[in-house]
Copies of this chain bind each other. A is one copy, B any other.
């Protein structure tokens, strides 16, 4: 009974898969701890990064939810927290009375810059600096053959709010 699609993972496959999980878990935990020193979660960080990169440093919540791995409701509450801490402000969106614009404050800019240095250093220590140029490039090529879908199944154009959902990679 030669090859054909197996129904078990080979030891090599299993070992690689486990190394993948292990590496991700360890790195993320460390990065999370690092950001905690700046009083930020990883999601906070992602959102603030989107804001610094945005034109005029302002974005609609729904755009944030598309750019980051969070639903609209998650964004609502996260932004509320950032606002309480004075890192962002919410102003009514010009030309759309439903929505608002989330804008980065000076304090927010300072915070994300400081956190960004920490975060960048962490990624280098835990990830980038451990791989040489060739390894890095091969890793990228390999990873890009794995799934990178933004969300679950696409949405049929049904009724109300239903839809493919917000969470896409960050």
Q: In the complex, which of the residues B15, B69, B124 contacts A9, with contact meaning CB atoms closer than 8 Å?
A: B124
Name which of A73-81, A83-91, A141-149, A155-163 contacts chain B.
Answer: A141-149
> How many Å lie between the Cα of A117 and that of B10 in the bound state?
14
Across-interface contacts of A22 in B (CB, < 8 A): 143, 148, 169
Q: Tell me the nearest residue of chain B to A6, going by C-beta.
A: B124
* Min distance, Cβ A136 to any Cβ of chain B, angstroms: 5
Name which of A24-32, A55-63, A93-101, A102-110 contacts chain B.
Answer: A24-32
Q: Which residues of A contact B (CB under 8 A)?
A: 6-10, 12-13, 15-27, 29-30, 33, 69, 117, 120-121, 123-124, 126-128, 130-131, 133, 135-140, 142-149, 152, 167, 169-170
Chain A contact surface mostly: helix
Contact yes or no, B120 A20, CB < 8 A: no
A-B pairs with lowest CB-CB distance, top 3: A19-B143, A26-B147, A23-B146
> How many Å lie between the Cα of A21 and that of B167 in the bound state?
13
Output the residue of A10, A18, A20, A126 with the most chain B CB within 10 A.
A20
Contact yes or no, A21 B169, CB < 8 A: yes
Q: Tell me the nearest residue of chain B to A16, going by C-beta.
A: B140
Across-interface contacts of A145 in B (CB, < 8 A): 130-131
Contact yes or no, A123 B12, CB < 8 A: no
